[in-house]
Structure 1
């Protein structure tokens, strides 16, 4: 029960912070006017979910139900462990994101603090426990992994919402242009995910221990994550090399839109499943 609450809190927090950074990033890359209300809602949600994660962490340590918060243990975590500084930085970044939404073009100003808030997730998983120089490299790789994943998730959210609102007879050229412009960003995202993911795996397990993953629950979940990542790559490739040219050429646009809508829905669902696995993996001993 307590482990499930911790995984659930991590999962919800990851989705919130990924969207908080990913949406402004995609809006900026596409030259779009962002929705400051959505950004403010996600920043507020990040604060609430961070508190929930703290209470879930305390409940997991003591074995008490999260419905009866252990405030004493939560206070110890805040004042006597690295969790305190991490939540302080994240809280300040989230408040700065909220303030940015009050400014003209706040969707642009919100991106740096939102990226900082998302990056703090690297200190609450395995990367946060790695020490010395190796720990610094691990956290840099993990931050890059988080930012790349956030960029992909934010792009999927905007694209899915845009395609979902298309109606028969709608002009599909803006969608095709958006997909085409996303291709370079998508390539950078995938390259970053692959390189940083490989570094993370080596840092967490070690090269010599990689074969032993096959006999662990961590390894099975990691394998499932990699399979889902491969599925996302396949869908993204289909969007780029098949559906986008069909929309640009105006060939059976309604059929292409239907296929694109289904592809983006499956890709988004796969991304959510990957985040659920990552939330679970972060609570496990890799060699247990």
Structure 2
């Protein structure tokens, strides 16, 4: 029960921080106006979910109910481990993001949002790696987190645009242009995910131990994550090379329905990946 709450808190926090960074990033790249209320809500949500994650972590480590946390263990975790400084940096970044959001400055919000998202690297396997290898691992993990946040933020905007699309030629051309312009950003995101993911895999498991993953829960979950990533790549390619040109052609109605379904499926796969990552972060790869 407590482990499930820990995984759930990690999952919700990852979704929140990914959107907080990914949305203003996509709005900036596309030259779109941001939504102040959405970013403010995500910044506040990040603070609340960070507190929930802390309580769930303590509950999982001590075996106590999350509703009645063991405050002595919480104090030790905050004062004698890197968790305290990490949460302090995240809290400051989220507070700054909230201020910029309230000032309706989404581009400025992106900076502290990226810092807040980067702190996730210090609460997973990368945070436990030491010395120079630890630095390389955390740099790769931060790049992985930022790229994933960019993709998730883009999907959120694109799904909203497609589901609220008005059947006018001008509106369809606007959305088609947005999808086309995302192509370069999407290529950079995928390249970053592939390189940083490979580095993370080697750092966490090691090349010599890769065959041992086949018989472990960690290996099965990692395989499921890679399979979902492959599904996302396939859907993204279909959207880019098949459906977006259809939206620009003389048969837009057919393209709209297919794009809606494809983007929803791609988003579902992304949510599934984050759920798996939240679970993987609680497991010993060799356990």
For Structure 1 versus Structure 2, the TM-score category normalised by the shorter chain is: over 0.9
Structure-2 residue corresponding to 1:227: 227
Matches within 5 A, 1:67-82: 67-82=67-82
In the alignment, is residue 130 of structure 1 matched against residue 129 of structure 2? yes
CA distance in 2, matches of 1:168, 1:186: 26
CA RMSD of aligned residues (A): 0.9
Per the TM alignment, residue 252 of structure 1 is displaced from its structure 2 partner at its CA by 1.3
What's the offset of the Cα at 1:167?
Answer: 3.2
CA distance in 1, matches of 2:256, 2:214: 40
Q: Distance in 2 between matches of 1:169 and 1:91?
A: 44
Deviations 1:37-57 (A, max 9, x none): 100100000000000000001
Q: Does 1:153 align with 2:152?
A: yes
**Secondary structure, aligned partner of 2:55:** helix
Alpha-carbon deviation of 1:96? Answer: 0.6
User: 2:243 — aligned with what?
Assistant: 243
Superposed CA deviations along residues 143-190 of structure 1, whole A, max 9, x for unmatched, are 000000000000000000011001334530001100010000000000
**Hey, what's the Cα distance between the residues in 1 that align with 2:36 and 2:73?**
36
CA deviation string 1:83-130 (max 9, x = no partner): 000000000000010111233x51111000000000000000000000
2:30 aligned residue? 30
Query: What's the counterpart of residue 254 of structure 1?
Result: 253
The answer as to whether partners of 2:152 and 2:267 remain within 8 angstroms in 1 is yes
Query: SS state of the match for residue 102, structure 2?
Result: coil
SS class of match (1:101):
helix
* Distance in 2 between residues matched to 1:42 and 1:75, nearest whole Å: 27
Normalising by structure 1, what TM-score? 0.98
Superposition misfits of 4+ residues, deviation over 6 angstroms: none
Structure 2: 5+ residue runs without aligned partners? Answer: none
1:110 is paired with a residue whose SS is helix
Matches of 2:154 and 2:117 in 1, distance apart? Answer: 16
The match for 2:286 is: 287
How far did residue 248 of structure 1 move? 1.7
- In the alignment, the residues of structure 2 paired with residue 169 and residue 22 of structure 1 have an alpha-carbon distance, to the nearest angstrom, of 28
Question: Within 1, Cα distance between the matches of 2:181 and 2:167?
Answer: 24
Residue matched to 2:276: 277
TM-score by length of 2: 0.98
Equivalent residue number for residue 60 of structure 1: 60
Q: Tell me the distance in 2 between the aligned counterparts of 1:69 and 1:208.
A: 40
Following the alignment from structure 1 to structure 2, what is the Cα–Cα distance between the partners of residues 235 and 67? 41
Q: Secondary structure at the match of 1:172?
A: helix
Partner of 1:191: 191
2:23 & 2:70 partners in 1: Cα distance?
35
CA contact (8 A) 2:40 2:102 kept: no
Q: CA offsets per residue over residues 177-229 of structure 1, 9 Å max, x none?
A: 00010000000000000000000000001010011111111000000000000
The match for 2:263 is 264
Whole-angstrom distance in 2 between the partners of 1:192 and 1:219: 22
**Structure 2 CA distance for aligned equivalents of residues 70 and 11 of structure 1:** 23
| C-alpha distance in 2 between matches for 1:272 and 1:234 | 16
CA shift for structure 1 position 70: 1.9
How does 1:73-92 map onto structure 2 within 5 Å? 73-92=73-92
Q: Secondary structure of 2:32's match?
A: coil
